């Protein structure tokens, strides 16, 4: 059974460089830029929730926060959210080396994302 733990949080920004510098200086976080997506993220340590700083886009405006929740079955999670009157903001999409993600808005308008990690084959 899936433990629906928070795996990632995104804080939208208009300036990833300034935001990265701010959190490095404020908390001493290891903030890196990941290619090819040019995605800025703070890794807080093994087993800790990571924090991403995406540039504003069609899903997020400056100041928005999205919480990512782990799921073993993203299709099931999307279906259940729809049954509970969530609005699908972004359907299931595959992100290489990450897995599948989708974004919904709860009945109060809060955005949450489902993350089904990519299976690692040894």
Domain ranges of the chain: 6-117
Taking only the tens place, the pLDDT of each residue in 46-92 is 888 899 999 998 888 888 899 999 999 999 999 999 999 999 999 99
Residue 121 has pLDDT above 60, yes or no: no
- Choose the CATH number for 6-117 among 3.10.180.10, 3.40.50.2300, 3.10.129.10, 3.40.50.300: 3.10.180.10
Alpha carbon distance 77, 116 (integer Å): 10
Q: Which residues lie closer than 8 Å to 113 by C-beta, 6 or more apart? A: 8, 10, 66, 67, 68, 69, 90, 101, 102, 103, 104
pTM to 2 decimal places: 0.80
């Amino acid at each position: 059974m899936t433990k629906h733990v928070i795996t990632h949080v995104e804080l939208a920004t208009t300036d990833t460089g300034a935001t990265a510098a701010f959190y490095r200086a404020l908390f001493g976080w290891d903030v890196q830029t990941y290619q090819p997506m040019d995605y800025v993220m703070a890794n807080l340590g093994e087993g800790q929730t990571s924090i991403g700083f995406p540039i504003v886009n069609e899903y997020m405006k400056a100041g928005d926060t999205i919480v990512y929740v782990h799921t073993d079955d993203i299709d099931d999670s999307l279906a259940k959210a729809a049954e509970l009157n969530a609005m699908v903001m972004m359907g299931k999409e595959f992100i290489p080396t990450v897995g599948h993600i989708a974004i919904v808005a709860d009945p109060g308008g809060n955005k949450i994302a489902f993350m089904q990690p990519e299976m690692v084959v040894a």
